Structure 1
């Protein structure tokens, strides 16, 4: 019997001139590869496979299959970021990041609902320059290494290795300076629609590098994020 679920497209690899294997993070099955046919046809499914597109799918899920058979695919309203340069670069980066970070994750409806709600906001947001940073910080709760403690004038360094705010600027070899540590703390408390102080593009680039490093330290196998330089260039 075919089943239905919601999903977020993370990666597409061409399989033939008219088909592709799409890796989709689904609400019911976690991260799953699907064979998608008919993408080369006029009005086909290619547009539905762009990074972070939110979709509804019909499939015959069989645990023994490495690639699942997808029989229906529709795009949810408010998906697709190709017409907006900053959002397109952000979605490319986040899709690659989530593909690698969620690779070993099984179904987690709370995590899926968080991502779905965040991306719905992202689609409507006119000023999306901090979205990726706030999302990465908030996601740490689901992976079990959310920054601990509070930023203060004394505990104003963030130790990336130990995941805490500290008075000791030399507590590890992976430290975030006080100004950026304060922004990190503010973002951990903020909603996606909240403006964060006097954050410059230079600050955003440094914070993004620091957050990727933080995940690489604490999330085994994350590895290099190849789309990171593209997003860095956007904020240059």
Structure 2
């Protein structure tokens, strides 16, 4: 069955000498993995391989078969041409980090157009803006809405946030009860849009602390989630 769909590249892995295995989040089919045979062999193949940079937005024609774990791509086009996402060192660090998080969290082969649209539009926002140092924090926080554990803001004025339960509470329950600067920042970001992110002032130490907290939040709510391997490099670049 031939299927045409937009797709976002989550990961790529060299296979044998000339092949690539690429995992994409597609608009029509959810997460799909592809085997690109011989793509690293010829000059023409190298040109095609360049399409599959992390978080690139593509339009694919797929030869899809239900009984196959690695699908085949008949044709590839760029659906969005980034101007800075892969060429700017800080933005490319964000791309590397977020692609690993998304590859880790998006597992299901099922269609979710609202989640796809969220990832698609926020990446385009990042590509075209120059104030983005807190982008990844808001991106991850908003991502929890589509993954099913967005913070319950009903009692947002309470002095603690229970990471395990995902809600604000009057008393500290255990070591997963959040307070202090991370709590203040969480409340700020819950009421912030990407366009207003530049008004949220955070130093590098607070940014790292909050990122560690939100990754812990992912771990508590997604049993298979693992801390990204790129986290250490990512923090070093942003310092």
TM-score, scaled to structure 1: 0.92
2: CA distance between counterparts of 1:207 and 1:45? 38
Q: 1:59 touches 1:71 (CA, 8 Å); kept in 2?
A: yes
2: CA distance between counterparts of 1:184 and 1:70? 41
Residue 67 of structure 2 is matched in structure 1 by 64
Q: Deviations over 1:59-95 (max 9, x none)?
A: 1111111100011112223337231111111111111
Residue 110 of structure 1 is matched in structure 2 by 114
Task: Tell me whether 1:27 sits opposite 2:23 in the alignment.
Answer: no
2: CA distance between counterparts of 1:67 and 1:176? 42
Residue 163 of structure 1 is matched in structure 2 by 166
Residue 143 of structure 1 is matched in structure 2 by 147
C-alpha deviation, 1:41, in angstroms: 3.2
C-alpha deviation, 1:213, in angstroms: 0.3
Q: 1:158 touches 1:178 (CA, 8 Å); kept in 2?
A: no
> Given the alignment, which residue of 198, 214, 219 partners 2:217?
214
> Given the alignment, which residue of 47, 50, 61 partners 2:50?
47
Q: Which structure shows the higher helix fraction? A: 2
User: 5+ unaligned residues in a row in structure 2: which ranges?
Assistant: none
> Given the alignment, which residue of 169, 178, 182 partners 2:184?
182
C-alpha deviation, 1:167, in angstroms: 2.7
Task: Tell me whether 1:97 sits opposite 2:98 in the alignment.
Answer: no
C-alpha deviation, 1:105, in angstroms: 5.2
3-state SS of the aligned residue for 1:146? coil
TM-score, scaled to structure 2: 0.91
Residue 81 of structure 2 is matched in structure 1 by 78
User: 5+ unaligned residues in a row in structure 1: which ranges?
Assistant: none
2: CA distance between counterparts of 1:132 and 1:230? 15
